[in-house]
Structure 1
Amino acid sequence: MDSKSTSDAREKLLETTEDLIYRNGIQATGMDFLVKESGVSRKTIYKYFGTKDELVAEVLRRRDERWMNWFMTSVERAETPEARLLEIFSVLKGWFLAEGFRGCAFINTAGETGDPQDPVRLVAKEHKEKLLEFVRTICQEYGAPDPDALARRFLVLIDGAITVAHVLGDSSSADDALEVARTLLGK
């Protein structure tokens, strides 16, 4: 197999795995199903990734990079720090209304792993830490007296809105979170 075929097979495997896990979860996405859907042999899968957890962790790392880039770029379109803090919830609502929205891939997969040191859980933790840091930076720019505390509260609002939108199928959770955010900012 030449290097282009090898990279194509790896890419196809990663894309297929991400799609299946986001739609069905880790446990419901068995290796036989991955082989069938991706067209990549089990031997090739284990060549690239020693375990299913390593495959899922790589899928989540790639998703984290794409999702954070999209989210940060979208939020940063707002002109002031206050507007960016509030824009978070407009951006989320747009995501909630998008076809194929199934909640936060990181919350979903972390919920399937019991061990805090599981590679999948660690990637989910890293994602939430990056999200918290992004929000903390905006809170500092906003001039919050305690940007760390405000950022943690915003993270709770963000993840709460995502979870409610997913579990209840209610995109208005973004509107509710926005109202709480306004209260936190004294608006």
Structure 2
Amino acid sequence: MNEINSNETRNIILDVAEKLIYKSGIAATGMDLLVKTAGVSRKSIYRYFANKDDLIVAALQRRDERWMHWFSSEVDKAPTPRARLLNLFTVLKTWFDSEGFRGCAFINTSGETGDPQNPVRQVAKLHKQKLLDYVTRLCTEQGVESPDALARQLLILIDGAITVALVMGDHSAADQAQNILKSLLAETE
């Protein structure tokens, strides 16, 4: 198998795994379903991934990179530091309104693993840390007195809005979170 086909096969496996995990969860995504949906042999999957856990971790790492790139690129389109902070929730609402929205893949998969040391939980923790670091940067650019503290509050607002949008079906959770942020910013001005 040449390198191009090899990378293509690996990418197909990762794409299918990510979609199935996001749609139905880790437990519901068995190897038989992966094989059938990806149109590859079980042997092909094991050529790239030692086991299902390794595949799940790789799929989540890939989702982290893609989602963070998408999110930060969209948020950063706003012209000023304050507008970028507010845009966090405008961008989230766009995501909530998109077809196939199933909440945060990292919160969802973490809920399926009990052990905090589980590699899936570690990927989720790293994702949330990257998100926190990004939001901290935005808070610093805004010039707030305590950017770390505000960023931690915003992480809670972000994850809360995502959860409410998924569980309650209330996509206006992003608007409500944005209004809370406006109040928090007014306190710092």
The two structures have a TM-score, normalised by structure 1, of 0.97
Amino acid at match of 1:118: N
The equivalent of 1:66 in structure 2 is 66
Cα deviation code 1:86-126 (max 9, x no counterpart): 11000000100001111011111111111111111111111
Amino acid at match of 1:62: R
Amino acid at match of 2:157: L
Amino acid at match of 2:68: M
Question: Runs of 5+ in structure 2 lacking a partner?
Answer: none
Mapped pair 1:171 → 2:171: yes
Q: Distance in 1 between matches of 2:30 and 2:51?
A: 12
Q: Distance in 2 between matches of 1:117 and 1:54?
A: 14
Report how far residue 43 of structure 1 moved.
1.7
SS of the equivalent of 2:78 reads: coil
Amino acid at match of 1:40: V
The equivalent of 1:152 in structure 2 is 152
The two structures have a TM-score, normalised by structure 2, of 0.96
Q: Distance in 2 between matches of 1:163 and 1:116?
A: 20
Q: Distance in 1 between matches of 2:104 and 2:59?
A: 14
Q: Distance in 2 between matches of 1:76 and 1:36?
A: 39
User: When the two structures are aligned, how many residues end up with a matched partner?
Assistant: 187
Amino acid at match of 1:61: Q
Cα deviation code 1:47-81 (max 9, x no counterpart): 21112111011111111111111111111111111
The equivalent of 1:52 in structure 2 is 52
The equivalent of 2:17 in structure 1 is 17
Mapped pair 1:115 → 2:151: no
Tell me the C-alpha RMSD between the 2 structures. 1.0
Cα deviation code 1:21-46 (max 9, x no counterpart): 11000000111111111112112212
The equivalent of 2:42 in structure 1 is 42
Identity %: 59
Question: Runs of 5+ in structure 1 lacking a partner?
Answer: none
Q: Which moved more, 1:39-48 or 1:22-31?
A: 39-48
Q: Distance in 2 between matches of 1:15 and 1:112?
A: 20
